[in-house]
């Protein structure tokens, strides 16, 4: 079992420390429409235990279970797959919402994504995406005793979006309203039972005008992808790599041949480059927030398809390349791209230990800045262990999914730096003597901000949460 954040803090004597974020949290919201909001400064109060044992929420909030692992898909294509992970919400017809949901199934996935003709890349692989069309009229969800409502009036359609991919972890929305799903693996054909190479990005659509393509976006690289974010001004795509072993992952940018070209344009190809911070081989070595590096270099990847050598191991010439452990979240804000290193552990090869970094890259100035760092003086309970998926909340703050040991939460983070619990998983996947809970993933809001959607990874469950959201 890996060393947990709480164990490390206990050893360093920081177990009783107060919440301390090093850096300007308001930076995370700069340039967004929600940044002007002022609500949500005090959270929503304590969590109320759910009598149905699924999801604990503050008083006044309600949930509906939209989909559960192992239940029949409404399309009749098979069962709802397991390992619900990254997700995004898109505006649909007649005020409905499209939810595109990743399934991080490897070869040992409990319930695979059903193979569907025309939507399957590698029939041997078990991952992929499912697509739900949801009536997002929040309506009256009743009292806490009415928690588990599966009514068809909420989920209108539910079907396979893409199948035959592997380890679909996160991704990101395109500029033209499709979902880019990322494979967090780099197995090749013939390995582990796969019949095709994996480690690609695929474009998933959900209407006839922009259908899913099962052809991988090969020019965007073959590596352990995590997330992507578009520069809306130039069409450049930034990509993170969540590599599990040293040398750790890289931060990339993809320069499309047809920038902002619309649906299908990424198949025209482009140039993949990796970030080099001169003199900094490992981002974990940077410990002071506000530290900036000018003259950031971008080095063309010698072999984006990694035919012989994984990209992070390739020869980038004099000066090498810059690595970082657990590069995960990635999003665009204002005129900059932000990306997250969830943690770094010296015992696993990083230069220094930390419990989370948030970096900002300004492409106009070619400047990289460490905005936020967590720990070891960060409180052991809040904002939780190994923060993962994030999204903007209607109040102007963030919602952060926890992925670690012990109880699992969705935490809210206000622009003033206050952390509050928004949801807690109540599905015990352990034993009464040794309880355990699945991580949260894919938190996202409906376009109108009235409904929060979030997944429990295990058992795979998708929730719609409504209540007195502050806007």
Kindly give the confidence (pLDDT) of every residue in the chain, 471 residues in length, as a single tens digit, with 9 standing for 90 and above.
333 433 333 333 333 222 234 565 566 654 443 333 333 456 899 999 999 999 999 999 999 999 999 999 999 999 999 999 999 999 998 889 999 999 999 998 899 999 999 999 999 999 999 999 998 664 443 333 333 443 334 899 999 999 999 999 999 999 999 999 999 999 999 999 999 999 999 999 998 889 999 999 999 999 999 999 999 999 999 999 998 788 999 999 999 999 999 999 999 999 999 999 999 999 999 988 899 999 999 999 999 999 999 999 999 999 999 999 999 988 888 899 988 898 899 999 999 988 888 899 999 999 999 988 865 444 444 444 555 677 878 877 778 887 667 788 888 877 776 778 899 999 999 999 999 999 999 999 999 899 999 999 999 999 999 999 987
Nearest partner of 114 among 75, 87, 153, 152, judged by Cα:
75
Give me the sheet containing 155-165, strands edge to edge.
Answer: 84-91, 97-103, 127-134, 155-165
As beta bridge partners, residue 57 has 48
pLDDT tens profile 194-210: 999 999 999 999 988 89
Q: What is the pLDDT of residue 108?
A: 84
Q: What is the pLDDT of residue 25?
A: 59
Nearest partner of 181 among 252, 101, 255, 238, judged by Cα:
101
User: Distance (Å, rounded) from C-alpha 450 to C-alpha 439?
Assistant: 23
Instruction: Work out the mean pLDDT of the chain and round it to a whole number.
Output: 85
Q: What is the pLDDT of residue 269?
A: 98
Q: What is the pLDDT of residue 162?
A: 98
Q: What is the pLDDT of residue 364?
A: 97
- SS3 label, residue 176: coil
Cβ neighbors of 436 (< 8 A, separation 6 or more) are 428, 429, 430
Q: What is the pLDDT of residue 371?
A: 85
User: Distance (Å, rounded) from C-alpha 216 to C-alpha 51?
Assistant: 45
Q: What is the pLDDT of residue 26?
A: 63
User: Distance (Å, rounded) from C-alpha 200 to C-alpha 376?
Assistant: 35
Q: Which two tokens stand for residue 251?
A: 């931060």
pLDDT tens profile 285-312: 998 889 999 999 999 999 999 999 999 9
Q: What is the pLDDT of residue 406?
A: 78
Q: Which two tokens stand for residue 11?
A: 């050893």
CA angle, residues 259, 260, 263, in degrees to nearest 5: 115
Q: What is the pLDDT of residue 27?
A: 67
Cβ neighbors of 9 (< 8 A, separation 6 or more) are 15, 17, 375, 376, 380
Q: What is the pLDDT of residue 404?
A: 64
Q: What is the pLDDT of residue 207?
A: 85
Nearest partner of 402 among 418, 423, 417, judged by Cα:
423
């Amino acid at each position: 079992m890996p060393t947990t954040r709480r164990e490390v803090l206990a050893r360093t004597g920081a177990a009783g420390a107060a919440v301390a974020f090093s850096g300007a949290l308001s930076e995370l919201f700069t340039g967004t429409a929600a940044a002007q909001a002022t609500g949500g400064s005090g959270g929503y109060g304590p969590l109320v235990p759910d009598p149905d044992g699924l999801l604990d929420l503050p008083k006044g909030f309600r949930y509906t279970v939209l989909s559960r692992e192992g239940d029949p898909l409404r399309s009749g294509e098979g069962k709802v797959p397991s390992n619900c992970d990254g997700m995004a919400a898109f505006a649909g017809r007649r005020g409905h919402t499209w939810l595109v949901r990743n399934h991080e199934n490897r070869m040992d996935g409990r319930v695979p994504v059903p193979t569907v003709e025309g939507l399957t890349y590698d029939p041997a692989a078990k991952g992929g995406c499912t697509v739900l069309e949801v009536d997002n009229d929040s309506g009256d969800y009743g009292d806490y005793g009415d928690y588990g409502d599966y009514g068809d009036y909420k989920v209108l359609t539910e079907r396979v979006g893409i199948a035959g991919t592997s380890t679909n972890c996160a991704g990101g929305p395109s500029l033209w309203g499709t979902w880019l799903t990322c494979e967090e693996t780099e197995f090749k054909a013939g390995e582990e039972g796969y019949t095709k190479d994996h480690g690609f990005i695929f474009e998933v659509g959900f209407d006839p005008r922009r259908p899913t393509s099962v052809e991988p976006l090969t020019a965007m690289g073959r590596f352990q992808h995590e997330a992507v974010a578009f520069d809306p001004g130039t069409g450049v795509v930034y990509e993170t790599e969540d590599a599990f072993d040293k040398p750790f992952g890289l931060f990339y940018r993809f320069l499309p041949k047809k920038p902002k070209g619309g649906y299908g344009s990424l198949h025209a190809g482009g140039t993949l480059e990796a970030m080099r911070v001169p003199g900094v081989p490992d981002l974990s070595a940077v410990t002071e927030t506000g530290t900036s590096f000018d003259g950031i270099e971008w080095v063309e990847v010698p072999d984006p398809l990694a035919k012989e050598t994984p990209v992070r191991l390739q020869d980038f010439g004099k000066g090498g390349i810059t690595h970082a452990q657990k590069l995960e979240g990635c999003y665009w804000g204002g005129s900059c791209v932000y990306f997250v290193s969830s943690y770094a552990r010296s015992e696993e090869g990083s230069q220094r230990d930390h419990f989370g970094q948030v970096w900002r890259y300004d492409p106009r100035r070619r400047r990289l800045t460490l905005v936020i760092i967590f720990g070891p003086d960060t409180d052991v309970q809040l904002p939780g262990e190994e923060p993962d998926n994030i999204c903007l909340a209607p109040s102007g703050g963030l919602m952060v999914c926890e992925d670690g040991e012990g109880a699992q939460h969705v935490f809210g983070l206000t622009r003033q730096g206050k952390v509050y619990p928004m949801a807690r998983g109540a599905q015990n996947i352990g034993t009464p003597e040794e309880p355990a809970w699945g991580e949260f993933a894919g938190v996202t809001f409906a376009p109108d901000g009235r409904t929060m959607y979030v997944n429990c990874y295990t058992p795979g469950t998708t929730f719609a949460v409504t209540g007195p959201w502050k806007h």
